[in-house]
């Protein structure tokens, strides 16, 4: 039995199962349509985590609802069963999130999930989304106390987020609703040792928890190397130890990610739209999945010839030069806001005095 299948048997929660499924892919130039799709409902975020590239996205774009419905229908026709309603943006910034969850439910997706910073998941909003039939909500809480949270997220929302998560737990218990709750943290030099602090506060109300290593976000946040130790064998920082694999990325083979513009991209952290292969406003999902650009990208991964693609920056953790696969679909990038520049400065100082997180 491989390490992968042993770990898969041990994985208790749907969240853990999903993490492990990522390497259970068919490494083909045109693999079968995947089971999972991510709809990135909007580009922007209400927080400014210092290790996240979201602040670079210049335009605020919401996915068009008609397009969303057409693509959900196509996904179901092609056998997609799992739908995540996020990728690079914050899903609760969509006022109509509950309505979108209901659409997904009506189309018959069997697993509907989100990841959120939780600051806008007030009892009223969370209730709507839970009642609409979401299967799981993961709260990303990247610190174990209020002060560090403010430094990392750029917002003083720690107490509020903890309250929101605890409320979801009380609501599901009181109403016997089958929604799974998870928590994750990206530990950094600011928050060393705070995972236990966080679990002491919310461990009793979640079904699973994951400590994700800080990544370079698909080559978009190489400056994270200034203060963090990026484990180059752990793609995107989210794979359990022992399963980490360098060399080739499963994402172009494993799932569909749809940007707020309506483009098919091959990476969950494609902040610059550098891996967009098709405009789904003018083509079908099926044609896009096997088009010449998608085939070229997968061939590059299969042959290990990633020069000129952002994947090279991600997998080698270096600033190698790259071009977007389809420059006409790429996003203009914005300079970091003042807070992030200040944060980076503070990070540099902290690194000088404390050193990096040990690898
Ligand atoms: C980009 S966020 C988007 C959804 C939502 N705003 C949130 O924070 O959950 C998705 C996930 O990526 C994680 N993330 C962001 N930057 C990361 C990095 N540099 N390394 C590893 N994970 C990161 C976040 O903590 C979060 O769990
Ligand atoms: S990790 Fe999530 S909450 Fe933090 S800035 Fe990025 S998108 Fe926003």
User: What confidence category does residue 99 fall into, taking pLDDT thresholds of 50, 70 and 90?
Assistant: very high
For ligand 1, atom 26: residue with the closest CA: 140
**Residue 331 reports pLDDT greater than 80:** yes
Query: Distance from the CA of 145 to the center of ligand 2, in angstroms?
Result: 17
As to burial, measured by CB atoms within 10 angstroms (0-12 exposed, 13-18 middle, 19+ buried), residue 225 is: middle
> Between 260 and 24, whose confidence is greater?
260
53 in ligand 2 pocket by Cβ < 6 Å? Answer: no
What's the mean pLDDT in 145-162?
97
Query: Distance from the CA of 91 to the center of ligand 1, in angstroms?
Result: 12
User: What confidence category does residue 25 fall into, taking pLDDT thresholds of 50, 70 and 90?
Assistant: confident
User: What confidence category does residue 37 fall into, taking pLDDT thresholds of 50, 70 and 90?
Assistant: very high
For a substitution probing ligand 2, which of 137, 140, 156 has the most ligand atoms within 8 Å of its CB? 140
**Residue 347 reports pLDDT greater than 90:** no
- Distance CA(194)–CA(172), nearest Å, equals 27
How many other CB atoms are found less than 10 A from the CB of residue 332?
10
Pairing of strands 255-258, 263-265: antiparallel
Which ligand neighbours the alpha carbon of 41 most closely? 1
Give residues with Cβ within 8 angstroms of 91, minimum separation 6.
Answer: 41, 42, 85, 97, 114, 115, 116
33 in ligand 2 pocket by Cβ < 6 Å? Answer: no
pLDDT of residue 19: 65
As a whole number of Å, the end-to-end CA separation of the chain is 29
Query: Distance from the CA of 40 to the center of ligand 1, in angstroms?
Result: 13
pLDDT of residue 340: 62
Q: At what angle do helices 158-175 and 195-202 cross, to 10 degrees?
A: 40
**Residue 149 reports pLDDT greater than 50:** yes
Which ligand neighbours the alpha carbon of 191 most closely? 1
Show the CA angle centred on residue 183, arms to residues 177 and 189, nearest 5°: 170
pLDDT of residue 341: 67
Quote the percentage of the chain above a pLDDT of 90. Answer: 70
pLDDT of residue 9: 44
């Amino acid at each position: 039995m491989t390490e992968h299948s042993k770990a898969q048997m041990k994985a208790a929660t749907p969240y853990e199962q999903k993490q492990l499924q990522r390497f259970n892919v068919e490494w083909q130039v045109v693999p079968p349509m995947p089971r999972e799709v991510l709809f990135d409902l909007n580009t922007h975020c209400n927080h400014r985590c210092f290790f996240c590239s979201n602040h670079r996205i210049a335009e605020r774009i919401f996915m068009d609802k008609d397009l969303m419905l057409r693509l959900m229908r196509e996904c179901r026709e092609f056998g997609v069963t799992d739908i995540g309603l996020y990728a690079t943006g914050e899903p609760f910034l969509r006022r109509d999130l509950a309505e979108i969850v209901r659409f997904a439910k009506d189309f018959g997706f069997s697993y509907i999930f989100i990841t959120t910073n939780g600051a806008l998941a007030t009892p009223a909003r969370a209730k709507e989304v839970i009642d609409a039939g979401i299967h799981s909500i993961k709260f990303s809480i990247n610190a174990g106390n209020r002060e560090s949270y403010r430094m990392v997220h750029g917002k003083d929302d720690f107490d509020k987020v903890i309250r929101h998560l605890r409320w979801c737990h009380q609501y599901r218990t009181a109403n016997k609703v089958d929604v799974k709750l998870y928590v994750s943290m990206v530990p950094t030099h600011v928050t060393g040792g705070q995972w236990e602090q966080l679990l002491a506060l919310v461990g009793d109300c979640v079904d699973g928890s994951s400590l994700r290593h800080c990544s370079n976000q698909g080559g978009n946040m190489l400056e994270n190397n200034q203060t963090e130790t990026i484990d180059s064998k752990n793609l995107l920082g989210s794979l359990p130890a022992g399963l980490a694999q360098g060399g080739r990325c499963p994402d172009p083979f494993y799932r569909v990610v749809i940007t707020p513009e309506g483009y098919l991209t091959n990476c969950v952290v494609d902040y610059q739209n550098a891996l967009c292969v098709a405009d789904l406003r003018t083509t079908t999902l099926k044609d896009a999945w096997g088009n010449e650009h998608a085939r070229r990208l997968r061939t590059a991964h299969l042959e290990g010839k990633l020069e000129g693609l952002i994947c090279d920056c991600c997998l080698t953790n270096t600033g190698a030069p790259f071009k977007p696969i389809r420059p006409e679909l790429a996003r203009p990038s914005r300079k970091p806001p003042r807070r992030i520049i200040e944060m980076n400065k503070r990070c540099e100082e902290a690194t000088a005095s404390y050193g990096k997180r040990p690898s």
